[in-house]
């Protein structure tokens, strides 16, 4: 801890009295809302609270160099910064704390995220991009520690592309010559996460305008920094990343969180490096205090020593700021007292206004429910029980929608044998509130605008007598070549994508033709490869980022699920990142290269389209569809399909494959098999063998798993065959079980089945190496044949006697 031996007495930083007093006003207001917010959690008005007290001066200093067009990729304690740039009112601060679902009150997340998760709107009511260069941009925060770091690399990388790629100059809604800086903020304990280190390394390699701000208060909840960070200092630990003559790397600046001028100077230096030179910067803000502790979940007195608590009291940044203002004649004691009094008054008024508005938003449904329950009490044979339900609801302090709906559902159970007008009233009430609550809590998982890829119409491939049979890799290579020619927003990024054109030659020769900015190699860093794509997609570009093998996606899964997949949902449709993740999987050989982990994707990537083309004409169709829309997608190419021959379409760049529409590969009458990807060829081989012994199989390729069979085409097949098998090469209970649930449960196909449905999957373990390992680990033609035959044996044992 630094002793107060060098109080600030002079400065070369030019600060006007008006600016200094305005900063003090914001600092006081921010501190007051932190205090009141914590009180409201303890009073039961909010579920949880995390606040930015102690970080006011650092964030004010950062706000001074933040310009329109810049981006903040942040940390859930940046309330002072948001207020300083005009991105947050204190009424909105409290509205989010109370989970007000009206986006007019909580414009950041519509009550979906806990407090201190902020973001501005990037699209209009039609889903069209707004002009980001006229906005102070902030990406909606994520609570996962260091989860904001990967995308920060991409937000800054986009500036590099806008500055260096002349073909992007016309995209004036997104950049002015790449002058935009990304400001990433993080707590010191979270710098222990791998995402942070990977982002630091990527930024140093790429040389992008990214300023990392580390708010260092010495603890990660209760765990002190000596357990967190080598040398107990992230700036010292990262000293080897410091730029030197002729090397890349980053600039490292250290400033004390209570020293106003030191902080202002630090951020002015950082911004010059980042904005002018595209050099990344680490600003390590040390000696930060946290007056209220980590959050409302506990008290920091439990784990901080008396000396540390005394330090935090002595070095409170607002206290120091006040002393400095008085010592340097920027304001008088009376002026500061007036500012403090007005800050307290504004904080209380903002809290009261937000609370009243929140309670008023619940009043209509609540009052309707009370009236309906009273009516039921006067009519029902169960009047006493219903009266008790009403009485409990009326006595519930600060009742929320859950309380109201729960009470009404309990009442309707009591009325199940009665046909009275009040029951009809309750049922009507349920029908009326259901769509409203869907909008409040369940909408915008994916795009609901006219720009959605779900609105893209199908365009079938066309062929001529001159169409050549070529390897699948040639199809996708030709497709990407045409795409790079026709759309300057597109770039490809990944391990081995550039110089050698990816490990399966999809981009062979395209770096040489289109340049390194368009087809780019990346280091082995899947998390920030995805982050580069997310950030660039947030800025109007259309990246295609590659995970070299499907198995490697686990490295980036946290970023995909916590950030990308939830982005639209947590911003109520106001932010987007239409990223394409390209990978290859399914049949190969070995534990780490046989990738079909579909269940992990289906369980964690809701909010991203998951597409599984069986060949490369289909893949091209999916790429086109997604690029014509505004949602992210994971496209999994068949690893063993690159050298399988396909016919080259005449309209490769125009093909569009609609999402959620299966294709029937073979008509049949006895049994339906539902599958996708590389399994299609295996199923078709089995179908041919089954046909030889008199079993007619209908084969359906679902083509996309998310969305899945939106028109219930599989149901129509089952109505004809009355039997179904779902087959894939994921683990048991994975992709095949998902397909079964969708068809049997969602489509009610059980009504048409004459035999029990069956799911065929791989073994529970990962595949063993070599051809025999694949054969005995994953479904093969014989596996499918035997399963179908056994089902037909149950139906016609004389025609199909037991084989084994």
What DSSP string describes 517-556?
A: TTEEE--S-HHHHHHHHHHHHTTT-EEEEEESSGGGGGGG
- Which residues are catalytic, by number? 593
Is pLDDT above 50 for 294? yes
| Predicted local distance difference test score (pLDDT) of residue 12 | 54
Is pLDDT above 60 for 151? yes
Residue 14 backbone dihedrals phi, psi, to 5 degrees: -85, 110
Taking the CA of residue 250 as centre, how many other CA atoms within 13 Å lie in the half-sphere pointing to its CB?
29
Distance CA 618, CA 635 (A): 11
DSSP class of 242: B
From residue 414, give the alpha-carbon distance in Å to each of 376, 394, 403, 409.
10, 19, 17, 9
Is pLDDT above 50 for 6? no
CB 69 within 8 A of CB 179: yes
- Sorting pLDDT into bands at 50, 70 and 90, what band is 10? very low
Distance CA 110, CA 94 (A): 12
Among 457, 510, 442, residue whose Cα is nearest residue 482: 510
- Stretch 683-695: mean pLDDT: 97
CB 183 within 8 A of CB 214: no
- Stretch 513-526: mean pLDDT: 97
- Sorting pLDDT into bands at 50, 70 and 90, what band is 9? very low
∠ CA 642-648-650 to the nearest 5 degrees?
150
- Stretch 704-727: mean pLDDT: 98
- If you search the block for the tokens 């609901």, which residue do you land on? 448
> Beta partners for 471?
645
pLDDT tens digit sequence for 335-375: 999 999 999 999 999 999 999 999 999 999 999 999 999 99
CB 509 within 8 A of CB 501: yes
Is pLDDT above 80 for 638? yes
| Predicted local distance difference test score (pLDDT) of residue 561 | 97
Is pLDDT above 90 for 164? yes
From residue 470, give the alpha-carbon distance in Å to each of 563, 645, 677, 756, 790.
39, 5, 19, 42, 38
Strands (E), 639-744: 645-647, 663-666, 671-675, 697-701, 704-706, 724-727
- Sorting pLDDT into bands at 50, 70 and 90, what band is 595? confident
Is pLDDT above 50 for 391? yes
Distance CA 725, CA 739 (A): 10
From residue 660, give the alpha-carbon distance in Å to each of 462, 581, 598, 710, 749.
21, 18, 16, 5, 18
CB 521 within 8 A of CB 496: yes
Strands 210-215 and 609-611: unpaired
Distance CA 721, CA 499 (A): 51
| Predicted local distance difference test score (pLDDT) of residue 320 | 95
DSSP 731-752: -TTSHHHHHHIIIIIIS-GGGG
CA end-to-end span of the chain: 78
CB proximity list for 490: less than 8 A, separation 6 or greater? 483, 484, 518, 541, 542, 543, 544, 627
CB 590 within 8 A of CB 767: yes
CB 580 within 8 A of CB 635: yes
Strands 697-701 and 609-611: unpaired
In the chain, what percentage of residues exceed pLDDT 90? Answer: 91
- Sorting pLDDT into bands at 50, 70 and 90, what band is 75? confident
Token pair, residue 181, equals: 């800086």
Distance CA 715, CA 473 (A): 34
Among 585, 763, 735, residue whose Cα is nearest residue 674: 735
CB proximity list for 204: less than 8 A, separation 6 or greater? 241, 248, 249, 250, 280
Distance CA 26, CA 82 (A): 10
Residue 682 backbone dihedrals phi, psi, to 5 degrees: -65, -45
> Beta partners for 89?
none
- Stretch 142-155: mean pLDDT: 96
Distance CA 518, CA 540 (A): 15
Distance CA 706, CA 709 (A): 9
Distance CA 7, CA 35 (A): 27
Residue 760 backbone dihedrals phi, psi, to 5 degrees: -110, 130
Token pair, residue 42, equals: 């303890």
CB 610 within 8 A of CB 602: yes
Distance CA 668, CA 263 (A): 73
Distance CA 115, CA 48 (A): 8
DSSP class of 246: T
The radius of gyration of the chain's CA atoms, rounded to the nearest angstrom, is 30
Provide the angle, in degrees to the nearest 10, between the axes of the packed helices 401-414 and 383-395. Answer: 180
Average pLDDT over all residues of the chain: 95
CA 698 to chain centre: 38
> Beta partners for 219?
224
Which conformational region is residue 127 in: left (phi greater than 0), alpha (psi within -120 to 50 degrees), or beta?
A: left
Cis ω before 707 (30° cut-off from 0): yes
- Stretch 512-536: mean pLDDT: 97
| Predicted local distance difference test score (pLDDT) of residue 8 | 36
CB 613 within 8 A of CB 622: yes
| Predicted local distance difference test score (pLDDT) of residue 13 | 66
Residue 585 backbone dihedrals phi, psi, to 5 degrees: -155, -160
Token pair, residue 622, equals: 């999916």
What is the pTM assigned to this prediction? Answer: 0.95
pLDDT tens digit sequence for 219-254: 988 898 999 999 999 999 999 999 998 889 999 999
Q: Which helix (H) or strand (E) holds 224?
A: strand 223-224
| Predicted local distance difference test score (pLDDT) of residue 298 | 76
From residue 650, give the alpha-carbon distance in Å to each of 321, 470, 644.
69, 13, 19
| Predicted local distance difference test score (pLDDT) of residue 5 | 35
From residue 19, give the alpha-carbon distance in Å to each of 60, 175, 535.
11, 28, 33
Among 120, 112, 49, residue whose Cα is nearest residue 351: 49
Higher-confidence position of 216 and 245: 216
DSSP class of 190: G
| Predicted local distance difference test score (pLDDT) of residue 300 | 87
pLDDT tens digit sequence for 571-590: 999 999 999 999 998 877 78
Distance CA 5, CA 557 (A): 48
Among 635, 525, 511, 527, residue whose Cα is nearest residue 580: 635
């Amino acid at each position: 801890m630094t002793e107060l031996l060098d109080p600030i007495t002079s400065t070369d930083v030019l600060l006007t009295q008006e600016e200094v007093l305005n900063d003090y006003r914001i600092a006081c207001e921010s501190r007051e809302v932190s205090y009141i917010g914590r009180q409201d959690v303890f009073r039961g008005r909010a579920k949880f609270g995390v606040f930015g007290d102690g970080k006011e001066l650092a964030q004010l200093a950062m706000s001074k160099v933040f310009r329109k067009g810049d981006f903040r990729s942040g940390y859930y304690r940046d309330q002072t910064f948001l207020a300083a740039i005009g991105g947050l009112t204190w009424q909105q601060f409290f509205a989010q704390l109370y989970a007000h679902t009206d986006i007019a009150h909580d414009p950041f997340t519509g009550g979906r995220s806990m407090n201190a998760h902020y973001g501005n709107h990037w699209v209009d009511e039609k889903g069209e991009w707004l002009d980001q260069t006229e906005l102070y941009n902030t990406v909606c925060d994520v609570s996962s520690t260091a989860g904001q770091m990967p995308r920060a690399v991409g937000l800054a990388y986009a500036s590099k592309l806008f500055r260096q790629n002349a073909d992007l100059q016309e995209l004036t809604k997104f950049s002015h010559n790449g002058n935009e800086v990304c400001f990433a903020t993080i707590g010191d304990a979270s710098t222990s996460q791998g995402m942070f280190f990977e982002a630091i390394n990527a930024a140093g390699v790429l040389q992008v305008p990214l300023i990392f701000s580390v708010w260092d208060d010495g603890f990660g909840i209760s765990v002190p920094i000596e357990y967190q960070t080598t040398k107990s200092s992230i700036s010292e630990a990262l000293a080897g990343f410091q730029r030197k003559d002729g090397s890349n790397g980053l600039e490292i600046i250290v400033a004390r969180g209570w020293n106003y001028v030191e902080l202002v100077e630090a951020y002015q230096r950082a911004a010059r490096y980042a904005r002018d030179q595209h050099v990344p910067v680490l600003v390590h803000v040390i000696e930060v205090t946290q007056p209220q502790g980590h959050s409302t979940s506990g008290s920091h007195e439990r784990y901080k020593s008396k000396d540390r608590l005394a330090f935090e009291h002595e070095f409170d940044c607002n206290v120091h700021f006040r002393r400095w203002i008085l010592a340097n004649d920027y304001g008088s004691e009376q002026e500061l007292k007036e500012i403090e009094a007005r800050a307290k008054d504004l904080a209380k008024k903002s809290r009261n206004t937000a609370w009243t508005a929140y309670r008023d938003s619940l009043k209509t449904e609540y009052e309707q429910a009370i009236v309906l329950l009273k009516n039921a009490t006067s009519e029902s044979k169960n009047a006493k029980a219903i009266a008790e339900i009403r009485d409990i609801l009326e006595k519930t302090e600060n009742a929320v929608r859950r309380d109201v709906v729960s009470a009404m559902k309990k009442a309707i159970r009591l009325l199940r044998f009665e046909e009275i007008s009040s029951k009809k009233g309750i049922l009507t009430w349920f029908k009326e509130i259901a769509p409203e609550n869907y909008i409040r809590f369940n909408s915008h998982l994916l795009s609901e605008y006219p720009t959605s890829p779900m609105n893209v119409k199908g365009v079938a491939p066309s062929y001529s007598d001159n169409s050549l049979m070529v390897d699948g890799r040639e199809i996708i290579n030709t497709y990407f070549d045409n795409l790079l020619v026709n759309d300057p927003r597109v770039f490809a990024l990944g391990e081995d994508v550039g110089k050698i054109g990816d490990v399966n030659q999809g981009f062979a020769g395209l770096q040489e033709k289109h340049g390194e900015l368009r087809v780019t190699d990346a280091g082995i860093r899947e998390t920030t490869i995805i982050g580069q794509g997310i950030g660039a997609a947030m800025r109007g570009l259309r990246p295609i980022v590659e995970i070299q093998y499907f198995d490697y996606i686990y490295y980036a899964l946290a970023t995909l699920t916590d950030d990308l997949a939830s982005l639209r949902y947590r911003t109520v449709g106001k932010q987007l990142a239409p990223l394409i993740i390209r990978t290859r999987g399914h049949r190969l050989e070995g534990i780490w290269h046989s990738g079909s982990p579909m269940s992990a994707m289906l369980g964690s990537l809701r909010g991203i389209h998951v597409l599984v083309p069986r060949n490369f004409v289909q893949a091209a169709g999916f790429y086109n569809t997604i690029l014509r829309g505004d949602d992210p997608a994971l496209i999994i190419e068949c690893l063993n399909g690159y050298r399988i021959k396909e016919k080259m379409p005449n309209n490769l760049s125009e093909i569009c494959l609609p999402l959620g529409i299966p294709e029937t590969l073979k008509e049949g009458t006895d049994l339906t098999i539902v599958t996708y990807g590389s399994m299609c060829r295996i199923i078709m081989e089995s179908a041919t063998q089954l046909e030889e012994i008199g079993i007619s199989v209908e084969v359906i390729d679902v083509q996309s798993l998310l969305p899945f069979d939106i028109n219930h085409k599989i149901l129509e097949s089952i109505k004809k065959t009355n039997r179904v098998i779902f087959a894939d090469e994921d683990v048991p209970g994975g992709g095949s079980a998902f397909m079964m649930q969708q068809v049997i449960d969602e489509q009610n196909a059980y009504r048409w089945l004459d035999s029990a449905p069956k799911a065929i999957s791989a073994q529970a373990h990962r595949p063993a190496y070599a051809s025999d390992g694949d054969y005995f680990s994953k479904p093969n033609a014989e596996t499918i044949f035997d399963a179908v035959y056994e089902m037909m044996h149950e139906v016609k044992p004389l025609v199909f006697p037991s084989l084994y």
